[in-house]
Structures are given as structure tokens and as C-alpha cells.
Chain A
Amino acid sequence: MEGTFKSKILDADGIRRAVTRIAHEIVEKNKGTDRLVLVGIRRRGVPLAERIQQYIEEFEGVKVPLGILDITLYRDDLSTIDIHPIVHETDIPVSIEGKTVVLIDDVLYTGRTARAALDATMDLGRPERIQLAVLVDRGHRELPIRADYVGKNLPTSRREIVAVRLQEVDGEEDVLLLQREEDIQTQ
């Protein structure tokens, strides 16, 4: 991790409760699962989307279609970042034409990833509406974007890092607040 530990925001149970609630809210807000498509944004949006799909199936008995979105090619910082981002496949098995697409990601911060995901989604077709679900909203938006479903609202400083760790990706299950290394060094 690139920072030092400050506090644990959510443990495994906390994540489970938050994601379950989001799954309920999605069904409630859309009055069911009809015409719903879940789309996880790589990387940690993908296991979150899978879990939401599973929860919805548990209490609605319906398997909502699930897709994966890679936004690398839509990033607005491609020409300024140093390390060449590796592109991965976008895989959305159903047409999104006229559907309600729920984009799912781990953290909402500046809004730039969400903006890229919106563009990437709309290049795949014309959904009726697009919604956004995030596990953590840490504030500091740079674009007029807000989430429809939020697991945890977390006021942070820009010097802090929100680290979401999921079993499928990281082998751990929690959300941590970290202090940036370079800030510690300069203190």
C-alpha cells in the first residue's frame, strides 16, 4: 500500500451490509429488475457488481445481466500519466439499447472515472438511463457527477487514500483510510 494506516472504515460485515443495501435500493428505485443491466468498472467494480447480481438473485429470484467495462481508452489523463495503462476487454453480453444501466465502482472521488465510464457506455449503445453505484463516496468532485447509490459517505482530505480491498482481488476484505507516504516524509 502506498500509504500508512489511519483507520478502518468498513470491515467485511460492513461491506456486506452496504452492498446488500445497494442491491435492495437498485431494485426498489427501478421498481424491479426489468430491463436492468449491471456493469462493473474494472477492476474492483467487477466483484462488487457480481455480488450485487448475486444478492438480487437471492431476494428477487432473477439473474440480472452483468457486464464488465474497461475505461482505459476513455481516460482523459492518458497523455499525462507516466505508466502506460494496460487495456483490458470490455465485455457486456447483452445489448444496452433502451436499458437501465447501473455502473458499479468501488470509490467515487473526482468523478473522472465515472465520466469516462459514461462515455464508454454510450459508445456501446443508447441506454434509457444510466445510474451509478459506489461502495464509498469520498467527495472532492471535479465534475458535476453524483452517485445514485452510495454504500458509505466518507469525508476525506485529498492527502488521504481510500483503499478498498476485496477478497476476489486483494485476498482481504475491508475499506481503509491511509495517509499518503510522501506527506509523512515531508512532515
Chain B
Amino acid sequence: MKWQRKDILAIEDMSVEEIRHILHTAKVMKEILMRPIKKLPTLKGKSVVNLFYEASTRTRTSFEMAGKVLGADTTSIAVAQSSVSKGESLYDTAKTIQAMRADLVIIRHSSSGSAKFLADILDAGVINAGDGQHAHPTQALLDIFTMEEQLGEMDGKKVVIVGDVLHSRVARSNAWCLQKLGVDVTLVGPPTLVPVEMAGLGVKLTHDLDGALPGADVVMALRLQLERQQSGLFPSLREYSHLYGLTTERLKKTGKQSIVLHPGPMNRNVEISDDVADSVEALIERQVTNGVAIRMALIYLLIGGSGNVVA
């Protein structure tokens, strides 16, 4: 296929063909990543700017590594977002980056739609590394990559995503991605975190984890933001963990050799017990490795050829 995209903003508007192409490219990238000498000349002279308005060491590092392995020059701008009213607006920052003639910008921002906002201004490519509660496309891609690496084609398989679905861009992007690839997706959590309107994503909703587990090939636990308790969304970590925490005992209910994913960082013994987190079924570290491969693939696809280069 001919790659046409300037930006990676959300899975929602991607075709299955594009997703497959990314996964194929990531497979090649993973092989490179496993080499002793992890350095390619591919993107020599290309500049990638990491613009992170939310602290996220792991995602930022993953993008940085991905860019560096491909030979690009990566720069990170960590912007403390103490207050939106203070400091330079995203619009002005975008103009500044434009003037610096960056080839690709990776943005993480607390506002939904901020990646699209940036992409609309910039000639350079933009990769959304998480915008508010909207989307986290690279996470969804690395998740499906990890699932297929372990289980083969996911078409017709069953994935259960459990946790704070309402506030989760990871859940949203996964829901879009998995559905497109023919996966049976169920979102699980308490009614306050899995409200009825989430059905708009086109997936199944339930508040009963034990009822959802039988037949699940993949169980994905989401990170629980502990401050949600103060907002009254759930009464206690104890009750949450009792109802929705992944334990070895509970995982047996799938009735098969299921794999466990978590986008990290984990709250151990809240959404996932120690023994599950450290079990062979948990591919959490593999997700991290695959994350670099997926990001390499995307960076290559966006700025590797002339069709996507800023004129």
C-alpha cells in the first residue's frame, strides 16, 4: 500500500489496511531492536521533537529510543502544565516548532483533541502520544501487536478490558483498534467508571468481571487513578480490588491460557495482584519492548519517505 498519512492521531479513522501495514513494519523494527547494534542510518538528519505536557517517563523514553534507533535527532521538551492560563499557548508553541522546522512532533497533552489541534497547524507530522481522555493510538497498536505476537491473528478472539474505562484513552483506542480487527471486546468496571454512554464505542459493557472472563483470550487491566476515590467514583481500593482486581484465582475463570496486559505503570495489588503481574501470562514487559518497535514503525512511516517530508 502507499502510505499517505501525515499524522497518527487516533485509531478511529484508520483503515484495517493501514493498521496491518503498521504492524507489519513494526515486526521488522522489533527484529532490529533485538540486535546488539541498535542503530540505523535511516532517518539521518531528521529531527523529532517530543512535546510532553504530561509527565510520562516511559512513553517519552520509548519514543526517544525509537527515534534514536532509526538515526533521527530527538529533542524532548517537557512542559510543566501547572496551569493552562499561564505560560505559552499551544498555538504559540506550535508556531515556534514550525519555525524550527522539525520533521515530526510527538505530543502528549491533557486536553482531548490537542494532537489534532497541533496537526492542523503544523506542516510537520504529528504523533499523538495521548491526548486527554481521547486517544492513545500507539498504545493500542503495541497492545494488538503483543496480542498477535503471542496468540496469532486476533480476529474472532475475545478481549476483556477492565478498569477506569470512562477516563481512559487507552481503553478508547483499544476498543476502536480491536473492533476493526474483528475482536470481541468487553469493557468492565463499576457503573461510575463504565457508564452506559460508553456503548457508543460499539463494544459490550458489563459491571461483572467474573461473568465476563470465561472465554477471554486477553485480559487487560487499566491503571486506576487513585484520586478517583476522592471524587467519589468508587468507595475504596479494597472494594475496587475485590470486584475488579486481577488475581490468579480470578484469571482461571477464563478457562484457557489467557494473556494479561497492562499499559503501566501498575498499581500492584489494586488492579493487578503481584502474582499475576509477575506470572508468565503477564506480557507487561513485552508490551514495553513492542512499544518501541511500534513507535519506530510509525516514525519511519511518517518521515521515512519523501512523500511525507516537509517541503
Q: Which of A83, A89, A119 contacts B28 (CB 8 A)?
A: A89
Contact A78 B304 (CB under 8 A): yes
Say whether A81 faces chain B, with CB atoms less than 8 Å apart: yes
Say whether A90 faces chain B, with CB atoms less than 8 Å apart: yes
A74 to B304, CA, bound (A): 11
Residue of A nearest to B308 (CB): A84
Contact B40 A74 (CB under 8 A): yes
Taking CB atoms, residues of chain A closer than 8 Å to B300 are 73, 87
Contact A81 B306 (CB under 8 A): yes
Contact A82 B42 (CB under 8 A): no
Say whether A12 faces chain B, with CB atoms less than 8 Å apart: no
Residue of A nearest to B35 (CB): A124
Say whether A85 faces chain B, with CB atoms less than 8 Å apart: yes
Pick the most buried of A78, A82, A123: most chain B CB atoms within 10 A of its CB.
Answer: A78
Say whether A185 faces chain B, with CB atoms less than 8 Å apart: no
Contact B301 A90 (CB under 8 A): no
Give me the 3 closest cross-chain CB pairs, A-B, nearest first.
A84-B305, A73-B42, A84-B3
Residue of A nearest to B24 (CB): A86
Pick the most buried of A74, A80, A86, A125: most chain B CB atoms within 10 A of its CB.
Answer: A86
Contact A85 B28 (CB under 8 A): no
Q: Give the total of B residues in contact with A, Cβ under 8 Å.
A: 27
A119 to B39, CA, bound (A): 11
Say whether B211 faces chain A, with CB atoms less than 8 Å apart: no
A124 to B35, CA, bound (A): 7
A119 to B44, CA, bound (A): 14
Give chain A's interface residues, CB within 8 Å of chain B.
70, 73-74, 78-91, 119, 123-125
Q: Which of A83, A87, A90 contacts B25 (CB 8 A)?
A: A87
Say whether B99 faces chain A, with CB atoms less than 8 Å apart: no
Q: B297: shortest Cβ distance to chain A, in Å?
A: 8
Contact B301 A84 (CB under 8 A): yes
Q: Which of B35, B301, B308 contacts A123 (CB 8 A)?
A: B35
29 A-B pairs (CB sep. < 8 Å): A70-B28, A73-B32, A73-B40, A73-B41, A73-B70, A73-B300, A74-B40, A78-B304, A78-B306, A79-B309, A80-B306, A81-B306, A82-B306, A82-B307, A83-B307, A84-B2, A84-B304, A84-B305, A86-B25, A87-B25, A87-B28, A87-B29, A87-B300, A89-B28, A89-B31, A91-B31, A123-B37, A123-B39, A124-B37
Say whether B200 faces chain A, with CB atoms less than 8 Å apart: no
Please encode chain B, from 278 to 311, with 1 for each CB lying within 8 Å of some chain A CB and 0 for all others.
0000000000000000000000110011111100
A74 to B42, CA, bound (A): 6
Taking CB atoms, residues of chain A closer than 8 Å to B32 are 73, 90
Taking CB atoms, residues of chain A closer than 8 Å to B28 are 70, 73, 87-90
Q: B44: shortest Cβ distance to chain A, in Å?
A: 9
A80 to B45, CA, bound (A): 13
Say whether B101 faces chain A, with CB atoms less than 8 Å apart: no
Taking CB atoms, residues of chain A closer than 8 Å to B180 are none
Q: A88: shortest Cβ distance to chain B, in Å?
A: 6
Q: Which of A74, A81, A125 contacts B41 (CB 8 A)?
A: A74
Q: A94: shortest Cβ distance to chain B, in Å?
A: 14
Contact B25 A119 (CB under 8 A): no
Residue of B nearest to A88 (CB): B28
Residue of A nearest to B46 (CB): A79
Residue of B nearest to A97 (CB): B36
Residue of A nearest to B30 (CB): A89
Residue of A nearest to B301 (CB): A84
Say whether B204 faces chain A, with CB atoms less than 8 Å apart: no
Taking CB atoms, residues of chain B closer than 8 Å to A73 are 28, 32, 40-42, 70, 300, 304
Please encode chain B, from 1 to 12, with 1 for each CB lying within 8 Å of some chain A CB and 0 for all others.
111000000000
Taking CB atoms, residues of chain A closer than 8 Å to B39 are 123
Q: Which of B27, B35, B37, B305 contacts A78 (CB 8 A)?
A: B305
Q: A68: shortest Cβ distance to chain B, in Å?
A: 11
Residue of B nearest to A70 (CB): B28
Q: A173: shortest Cβ distance to chain B, in Å?
A: 29
Q: Which of A79, A80, A83, A123 contacts B2 (CB 8 A)?
A: A83
Pick the most buried of B27, B36, B39, B301: most chain A CB atoms within 10 A of its CB.
Answer: B36
